[in-house]
């Protein structure tokens, strides 16, 4: 009986002004690959779609369209003959950062409390009816608690349109002023994406601006913008069909219960971030999201696999 395991990565640790980003050290990442090589057979998205799976197979995926994916990760994978999936938020094609990166890089550079003060200022100025989401006394909170509260405001409490507006304001007024080259430092550009596709990797849709898809499904205009249009945009960019979709966040509460909705749009591989069952279903592939300090023991204990018929 063959099986498929899939793992999701985001950041590689940085040494610049954003060094507080929680990324995998590159040497640790290489140890992960050594572990995978000993225990699995690497496969591509095309192998999965073509049912070319034999033995214990593993697919590597990378989310958020980050610069290190093309500059560091892909060349190393190619030296080992590995093809991966790179999930791209289409907002980066119009020179706007992905939503989580505004939070992550803003917090990494300014610190948790200062970034929270930007959020506080924006809410009080533009959405005074939302200030009940703020901490009553932020100074009394531990840093990690304040960081969790900040992320929760944007993921769970504010509608996505408001989240995006507030974070773009912070980006344009603070981050972009301090780092005019932010997009080039942080995200893939069009040439990077085209190059990844030409080198045999799979480009997947990661929505337009990273909302929880389940939360926006009833808004037809936003669903079109976030889920349907990016497929067309990326297909035109790489001049090749794009039929893979990676849910932002990807937990059970973030995804659509009806698997056929994305299938009807033309997505043939769909990725989440939780274990969705025992049998492989191409429209419901749960990935383990590796944490920045994961040892190979952690991987061994946390990875799951799907049986392939």
Instruction: Give tens-digit pLDDT for 26-50.
Output: 999 999 999 999 999 999 999 999 9
Backbone φ, ψ for residue 25 (5° rounding): -60, 140
What's the residue count for the chain?
309
| Residue of 67, 157, 149, 158 lying closest to 115 (CA atoms) | 149
User: What per-residue confidence (pLDDT) applies to 17?
Assistant: 95
| Cα–Cα distance, 222 to 259 (Å, whole number) | 19
Tokens of 11: 């950041």
CA end-to-end distance (rounded Å), the chain: 7
User: Does the structure show a pLDDT above 90 at 309?
Assistant: no
User: Does the structure show a pLDDT above 90 at 217?
Assistant: yes
- Unique residue bearing structure tokens 């037809």: 220
| Cα–Cα distance, 228 to 223 (Å, whole number) | 7
User: What per-residue confidence (pLDDT) applies to 1?
Assistant: 86
| Cα–Cα distance, 205 to 269 (Å, whole number) | 10
| Cα–Cα distance, 193 to 238 (Å, whole number) | 7
Helix (H) or strand (E) run with residue 306 in it: strand 306-308
| Cα–Cα distance, 56 to 83 (Å, whole number) | 16
Q: What percent of the chain has pLDDT over 70?
A: 100
| Residue of 219, 286, 209 lying closest to 252 (CA atoms) | 286
pTM, full prediction? 0.97
Q: Give residue 212's Cα distance to chain centre.
A: 12
User: What per-residue confidence (pLDDT) applies to 164?
Assistant: 98
| Cα–Cα distance, 7 to 151 (Å, whole number) | 23
> Kind of pairing, strands 41-42 and 269-272?
unpaired
How many Cβ atoms from other residues are within 10 Å of residue 228's Cβ? 15
Instruction: Give tens-digit pLDDT for 95-151.
Output: 999 999 999 999 999 999 999 999 999 999 999 999 999 999 999 999 999 999 999
How many angstroms separate the Cα of 117 from the Cα of each of 134, 170, 178, 229? Answer: 10, 11, 17, 34
| Residue of 47, 49, 69 lying closest to 58 (CA atoms) | 47
Instruction: Give tens-digit pLDDT for 229-252.
Output: 999 999 999 999 999 999 999 999
- Residue 191 CB partners (closer than 8 Å, separation 6+): none
How many Cβ atoms from other residues are within 10 Å of residue 76's Cβ? 13
Q: How many CA atoms lie within 13 A of 97 on its CB side?
A: 28
User: What per-residue confidence (pLDDT) applies to 140?
Assistant: 96
Tokens of 251: 């937990």
Query: Secondary structure of 193-259 in the HEC alphabet?
Result: HHHHHHCCCEEEECCCCCCCHHHHCCCHHHHHHHHHHHHHHHHHHHCCCCCEEECCCCCHHHCCCCC
The three-state secondary structure class of 112 is: helix
How many Cβ atoms from other residues are within 10 Å of residue 132's Cβ? 9
98 neighbors 91 (Cβ within 8 angstroms): yes
Question: In terms of CATH, what superfamily is 2-95+187-308?
Answer: Glycoside hydrolase/deacetylase (3.20.20.370)
Instruction: Give tens-digit pLDDT for 245-295.
Output: 999 999 999 999 999 999 999 999 999 999 999 999 999 999 999 999 999
């Amino acid at each position: 009986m063959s099986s498929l395991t899939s793992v999701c990565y985001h950041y590689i640790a940085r040494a610049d002004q954003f060094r507080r980003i929680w990324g995998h050290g590159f040497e640790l990442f290489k140890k992960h690959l050594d572990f995978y090589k000993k225990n699995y057979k690497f496969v591509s998205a095309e192998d999965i779609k073509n049912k070319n799976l034999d033995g214990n197979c593993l697919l590597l995926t990378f989310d958020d369209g980050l610069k290190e994916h093309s500059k560091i990760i892909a060349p190393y994978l190619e030296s080992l003959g590995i093809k991966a999936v790179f999930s791209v938020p289409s907002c980066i094609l119009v020179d706007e950062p992905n939503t989580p990166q505004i939070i992550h890089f803003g917090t990494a550079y300014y610190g948790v409390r200062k970034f929270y003060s930007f959020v506080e200022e924006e809410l009080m100025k533009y959405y005074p009816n939302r200030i009940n989401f703020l901490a009553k006394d932020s100074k009394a909170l531990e840093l990690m608690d304040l960081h969790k509260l900040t992320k929760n405001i944007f993921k769970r409490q504010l509608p996505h349109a408001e989240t995006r507006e507030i974070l773009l304001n912070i980006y344009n007024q603070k981050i972009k002023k301090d780092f005019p080259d932010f997009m080039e430092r942080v995200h893939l550009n069009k040439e990077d994406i085209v190059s990844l596709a030409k080198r045999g990797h799979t480009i997947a849709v990661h929505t337009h601006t990273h909302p929880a898809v389940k939360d926006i499904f009833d808004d037809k205009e936003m669903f079109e913008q976030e889920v349907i249009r990016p497929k067309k945009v990326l297909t035109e960019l790489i001049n090749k069909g794009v039929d893979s979709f990676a849910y932002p966040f990807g937990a059970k509460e973030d995804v659509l219960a009806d698997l056929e909705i994305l299938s009807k749009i033309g997505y043939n591989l769909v990725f989440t971030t939780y274990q969705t069952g025992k049998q492989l279903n191409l429209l419901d592939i749960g990935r383990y999201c590796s944490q920045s300090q994961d040892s190979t023991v952690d991987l061994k204990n946390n990875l799951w696999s799907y049986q392939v018929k």
